[in-house]
């Protein structure tokens, strides 16, 4: 993440009349020539567009990871006792229940447990209130419980007496039970820590619900590692289904994880440690992410990120800590233990089930290796005292052990040659809309030799962006068109940040906004949908002639629909100006009448106001609108709306010879 943005932000100064989105030119006309003759294009990177996930804005804890309980192991206050059990809350008063913490847990890396002493009883002088006393957890700003859906609750219990525990999902106030059951156990069954699992089917919906553990019998009960998750998660792997489906719809070819600053930490003691994030969830100690200032139990750990990449059909890009945080560094002479951590992490991902760390992966249910091909050494650390020395230790060790893995340096090689070996270099940019739009030419003159560019973090920020404006999206679209045109040197690109929980917005803007039960895409998210077919496509040469070139950026590709194997020419154009443009499009190199009129289409992203945004109340205020392109052809006259991003997908008709070959191929496959 751009936690040190001044190092990476490129401030390109330009005159107002050249770069402003509010240009005053009138009667604009333009001509776009697209060369589609055979052999005239070049292949784009197969991994051109993907996603970058960081644990920021409660993107994972309380978001992508479907765990409903916050602080499920009572460790968020630290490993010492007494500890802070927030957001767990007592139900009852001091005359009926006393809550404390101690270090009695059976989990060696999570020793803190909750001790509940029930002072009231079912009978006698101190009768418990109706329904009992106990504790509840509201999750992350409320649990989304939906009617007819099933939730799995897991809890670990110890007691010296028999227990009768009411486990329920209840409304925010606790007045209505949405689903409930009881756990009965004799003293002999819970004298040692015992794991209980129950399934609760909700009879009503509440988007701000809570989990309750209630008792009505005098005694002492210990609780630890309490979890609640929906049974229905993405591919059954624990991810919040609707959020992953939004990510899947932009067809990412890679996922960079687990973050930028999150990997470093303000201090190394709080950096992400992959070995602490694998194995049984009950044994993961979790940690305090001191950059973004909240606790995560690391249920979304290294293994889960690899699984998510596999589920999305994307390549994982693993960002490793290189012994450098924001405030402390490990000297190069002492860096070898960190290098070994990296090598162990790759063995975990790629090693055989019989290897030391591959066997741990296999024990977690994934005997086959993950397809890990990319590793980034650190995040935004170029120029720091020990970066180069540390980087070379990582680079040499990794190339010796895994020569096929591509290494990514933090140092920018777009404007000058790197002084160290790398397969790719990281490029981050957060800036204004005008600056980013003008950067559509950023890589036009970059050397075609040497390492490729990985634009792993880009976005319009500041006043232009709001919390996700059309203006920001249009500037980003222009920038991405430039990356697409330069995809011979730009290997990968991803927007940042990907997610924000609306209850913990620590960075503006973000691509996908959510709360406990809703989600929507910002205009920046929808811009990425325009590029879903760009990875691996053929980039065509384009020439744009206009009486004012400053507000227009265009590109063209040929892509193939995997469903029907039809080929399309896709022409994308951003009109960043405030006036409409009459555009003549000419596509040369095609056979006569080869473009289908009925199956070609036009998609446009625009709105009435540059600062328009989507919201929970109006989720589709700024979204792409698709229509049939009625005048599709090799020569077209089209009108570009002011402040718009438009794509034209032209279906290329197959010749009779191609149809016969395809039909014969289908017959062959059917008979095989």
pLDDT of residue 212: 98
CA torsion sign for 616, 621, 622, 626 is positive
For the chain, the structural domain boundaries read 28-47+537-658, 89-230
The mean predicted confidence, pLDDT, of the chain is 93
**Residue 362 corresponds to which tokens in the numbers above?**
């296999």
Burial 300-315 (b: 16+ CB within 10 A, else e): bbbbbbbbbbbbbebb
pLDDT, tens only, 555-609: 999 999 888 889 999 999 999 999 999 999 999 998 888 898 888 999 999 999 9
Contact yes or no for 479/202 (Cβ under 8 A): no
Residue 299: its H or E element = none
pLDDT of residue 14: 38
DSSP alpha helices (H): ranges in 402-487?
Answer: 433-438, 470-485
Give the integer Cα–Cα distance in Å for 154 and 194.
Answer: 11
Mention every residue, 6+ apart, whose C-beta is less than 8 A from residue 102: 81, 112, 113, 115, 222
* pLDDT band per the 50, 70, 90 thresholds, residue 40: confident
pLDDT of residue 592: 86
The CATH class for the domain spanning 89-230 reads mainly beta
* pLDDT band per the 50, 70, 90 thresholds, residue 277: very high
**Which one is the CATH code of 28-47+537-658: 3.40.190.150, 2.60.40.1180, 2.40.37.10, 3.40.50.2300?**
2.60.40.1180
pLDDT of residue 26: 60
pLDDT, tens only, 236-269: 999 999 999 999 999 999 999 999 999 999 999 9
Contact yes or no for 554/648 (Cβ under 8 A): no
pLDDT, tens only, 54-102: 999 999 999 999 999 999 999 998 889 999 999 999 999 999 999 999 9
Mention every residue, 6+ apart, whose C-beta is less than 8 A from residue 30: 544, 545, 546, 547, 552, 581, 582, 583, 584
Give the integer Cα–Cα distance in Å for 318 and 408.
Answer: 10
Q: Are strands 374-377 and 406-409 parallel, antiparallel or unpaired?
A: parallel
pLDDT beyond 70 at 660 = no
Contact yes or no for 574/550 (Cβ under 8 A): no
Give the integer Cα–Cα distance in Å for 134 and 120.
Answer: 11
Q: Choose the weakest-confidence range: 75-84, 166-175, 508-517, 603-612.
A: 75-84
Q: In what order do the strands lie in the sheet with 512-514?
A: 499-501, 512-514, 519-521
| 3-state DSSP helix/strand/coil % of the chain, to nearest 5 | 20, 30, 45
pLDDT beyond 80 at 9 = no
* Range 389-413 average pLDDT: 98
Nearest to 416, CA basis, from 385, 386, 382 = 382
pLDDT above 90 as % of the chain: 88
In this prediction the pTM is 0.93
Q: Is the peptide bond before 87 cis (omega within 30 degrees of 0)?
A: yes
* pLDDT band per the 50, 70, 90 thresholds, residue 1: low
């Amino acid at each position: 993440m751009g936690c040190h943005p001044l190092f990476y932000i490129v401030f390109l100064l330009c005159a107002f009349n050249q770069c402003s989105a509010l240009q005053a030119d009138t009667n604009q006309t333009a001509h776009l020539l697209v060369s589609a003759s055979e052999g005239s294009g070049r292949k784009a990177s197969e991994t051109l567009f993907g996603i970058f996930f960081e644990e920021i804005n409660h993107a994972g804890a309380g978001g992508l990871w479907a765990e409903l309980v916050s602080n499920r192991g009572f460790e968020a206050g630290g490993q010492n006792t007494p500890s802070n059990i927030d957001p767990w809350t007592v139900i009852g008063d001091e005359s009926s229940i006393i809550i404390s913490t101690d270090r009695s847990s059976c989990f060696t890396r999570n020793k803190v447990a909750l001790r509940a002493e029930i002072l009231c009883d079912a009978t006698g002088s101190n009768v418990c209130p109706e329904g009992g006393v106990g504790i509840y957890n509201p999750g992350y700003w409320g649990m989304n419980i939906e009617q007819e859906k099933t939730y799995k609750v897991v809890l670990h219990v110890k007691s010296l007496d028999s227990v009768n525990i009411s486990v329920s999902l209840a409304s925010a106030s606790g007045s209505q039970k949405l689903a409930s059951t009881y756990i009965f156990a004799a003293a002999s069954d819970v004298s040692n820590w015992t794991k209980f699992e129950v399934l609760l089917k909700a009879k009503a919906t509440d988007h701000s619900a809570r989990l309750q553990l209630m008792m009505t019998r005098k005694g002492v009960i210990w609780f630890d590692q309490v979890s609640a998750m929906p049974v229905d998660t993405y591919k059954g792997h624990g991810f919040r289904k609707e959020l992953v489906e939004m990510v899947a719809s932009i067809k990412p070819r890679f996922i960079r994880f687990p973050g930028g600053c999150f990997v470093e930490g303000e201090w190394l003691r709080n950096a992400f440690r992959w070995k602490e994030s694998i194995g049984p969830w009950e044994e993961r100690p979790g940690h305090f992410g001191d950059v973004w200032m909240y606790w995560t139990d690391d249920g979304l750990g290294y293994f889960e990120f690899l699984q998510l990449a596999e589920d999305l059909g994307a390549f994982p890009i693993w960002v490793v800590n290189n012994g450098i945080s924001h405030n402390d560094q490990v000297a190069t002479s002492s860096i070898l233990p960190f290098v070994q951590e990296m090598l162990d992490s790759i063995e975990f991902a790629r090693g055989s089930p019989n290897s030391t760390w591959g066997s741990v992966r296999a024990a977690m249910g994934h005997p086959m290796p993950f397809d890990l091909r990319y590793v980034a050494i650190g995040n935004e650390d170029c120029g720091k005292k020990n970066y180069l020395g540390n980087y070379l230790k990582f680079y040499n060790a990794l190339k010796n052990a895994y020569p096929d893995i591509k290494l990514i340096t933090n140092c920018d090689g777009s404007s000058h040659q790197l002084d160290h070996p790398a397969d790719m270099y990281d490029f981050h940019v957060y800036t204004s809309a005008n600056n980013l739009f003008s950067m559509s030419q950023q890589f036009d003159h970059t050397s075609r030799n040497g390492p490729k560019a990985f634009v792993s973090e880009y976005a319009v920020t500041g006043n232009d962006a709001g919390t996700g404006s059309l203006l920001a999206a249009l500037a980003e679209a222009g920038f991405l068109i430039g990356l697409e045109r330069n995809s011979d040197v730009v290997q990968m690109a991803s927007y940042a940040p990907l997610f924000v929980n609306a209850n913990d917005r620590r960075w503006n803007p973000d691509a996908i906004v959510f709360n406990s039960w809703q989600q929507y895409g910002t205009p920046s998210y929808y811009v990425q949908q325009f590029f879903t077919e760009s990875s691996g496509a053929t980039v065509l040469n384009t020439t744009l002639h206009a009486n004012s070139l400053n507000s227009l950026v265009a590109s063209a590709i040929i892509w193939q629909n995997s469903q029907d194997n039809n080929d399309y020419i896709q022409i994308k154009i951003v009109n960043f100006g405030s006036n409409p443009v009459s555009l003549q499009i000419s596509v040369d190199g095609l056979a006569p009448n080869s473009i289908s009129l009925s199956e070609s289409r036009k998609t446009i992203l625009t709105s009435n106001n540059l600062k328009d945004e989507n919201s929970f109340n109006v989720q589709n205020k700024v979204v792409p609108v698709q229509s049939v392109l009625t005048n599709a052809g090799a020569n077209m006259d089209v009108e570009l709306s002011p402040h718009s991003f438009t794509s034209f997908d032209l279906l290329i008709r197959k010749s009779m010879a191609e149809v016969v070959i395809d039909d014969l191929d289908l017959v062959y496959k059917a008979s095989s």
